[in-house]
Homo-oligomer: A and B are copies of this chain.
Amino acid sequence: MTIWTRSAALLAATAILPSIVSSVSATPQEGEGVAWEITEGLTTEIGPRIAGSDAERRAREWGKAKLEALGFSGVAIEPFKTRAWTRGPEHAQLLAPYTQPLAITALGFSVPTPDAGLKAPLVYFASLDELRAAPDGSLSGKVAFIDHAMRRAQDGSGYGPYGDVRRRGPSLASGKGAAAVVIRSAGTDSHRNPHTGVTVFAKDVKPIPAGAVSNPDADLIARVAKRGKAMEIDLTLLGKPNPDAPSGNVVADLPGRDPSLPMILLACHLDSWDLGTGAIDDASGCGIITAAALAAQKDGRTLRTIRVLWSGNEEMGVGGGGGGHYAAIHGGDRHAVAMESDFGADKVWQFRMDLAAENEPLGAKVEAALWPMGIVYHGGDAEGGADVGAIIAKQNLAVIDLGQDGTHYFDLHHTPDDTLDKVDPAALQQNVEAWTAVLKVIANEPGTIGAVAKD
């Protein structure tokens, strides 16, 4: 969908904009600056903040106070009701052929097992495809285990196919009659920390209890399955849907010199999964966009208004979270470009753009601003993300994606290990500088900015 191609425009733009090039500054000291303050503050003073929880409410108030203290205008909490899910006690063990405790966590939208647990045969499937091939009804009274082997990819692209084990696997198992389902975590680490995340039950199947075991536990189940003896599991997952939960967005502006121009929208999400403290997912994203918005106006207001959206319920939103609510109530606001930071805190190494053909000179300026930092243009669609997806679709907005190194992202994603120690302050600051460089270009662009026309 994007029309941007590398071209001689890069060199021309570089010559035009030496001030942008020189704005790439040196490595900061450890743990300084606005991005760090926000990441450290949210993880330390709030911690886990699952959508619909009191902690998420406290995070909104924390965010409002922080954004006001930083000098943002019109800081507002915009509450909404959302479909969420609440974790309950959870544990599991293999009962046969060997007794082995399993490190397990429920997936979002799992329904509860009986309080005393569910004891049932455990049936091993090496992949989602192997489960697909199972005869209908063959899993009646049984628990399906779905194995797979998520591979790491610098751009995070493994999350599509392997994430589907989590997103679609439980629904598929239920369709085959399974009483419950356990998957290998969609994650690339080898620690006893299972990865949670939402699953989506299709309309025609019954929701069932669904959990994920850590990779070492999945390895164990695979080794046991290989021995060919009947397996039995004792599964207790008491989490349950929380269908009408309170959530909310925090929205704040840095007004531009020309309020008549459509603004730049920057988004992150304030909610987190509950197992960790949501450092890389996504306190750091809120830190990055907020610090960059301020840095872009450090030497004076930008031409356009820059808005930050700290979204509620991204993790379990599935169409009804903060991004959807923002589009619903801000559909009358005029936006030019939407950007989102929600892929951790490692360094930005590539970018993608969805810009109209007539904005090729603007694209060249963006490329020129990022090129001195070693951040290169990549093909493929610029998509924003869940927090800006609805407003992008509604208004057909231009999008710029600053792509972070995701090599280690799925070691931590949705696990207890998503904690502040995983954020490298220097890499965090590199993000801020990349975002600042882009904002200095796009928020000072006077002309019309648009996306490629969509069908």
Contacts and interface: CB of A to CB of B under 8 A. Distances in A.
By Cβ-Cβ distance, the 10 closest A-B pairs, closest first, are A192-B416, A216-B419, A47-B100, A190-B421, A44-B223, A216-B421, A45-B98, A191-B191, A192-B417, A191-B417
A99 interface: yes
Interface in A202-229: 215-216, 219-220, 223-224, 227
B47 A277 contact: no
A331 interface: no
A48 interface: yes
A47 B101 contact: yes
A3 interface: no
Interface bin, chain A = 20 to 34
A186 interface: no
A216 B99 CA distance: 30
A223 B419 CA distance: 13
How many copies the complex holds: the figure is: 2
Interface in A163-195: 190-193
A249 to B, nearest CB: 22
A220 B277 contact: yes
Given A223-B44, A276-B192, A216 B420 contact: yes
Contact of A419 (B48, B192, B421): B192
Interface in A20-49: 40, 43-48
A245 interface: no
Contacts of A417: 190-192, 216
Given A215-B421, A421-B219, A44 B191 contact: no
A357 interface: no
A143 interface: no
Contacts of A100: 47-48, 277
Contacts of A223: 40, 44, 420
A192 B193 contact: yes
A192 B194 CA distance: 11
Given A192-B416, A219-B420, A220-B277, 10 more contacts: A47-B220, A48-B100, A48-B101, A100-B277, A190-B417, A190-B419, A191-B193, A192-B276, A192-B415, A216-B421
A440 to B, nearest CB: 33
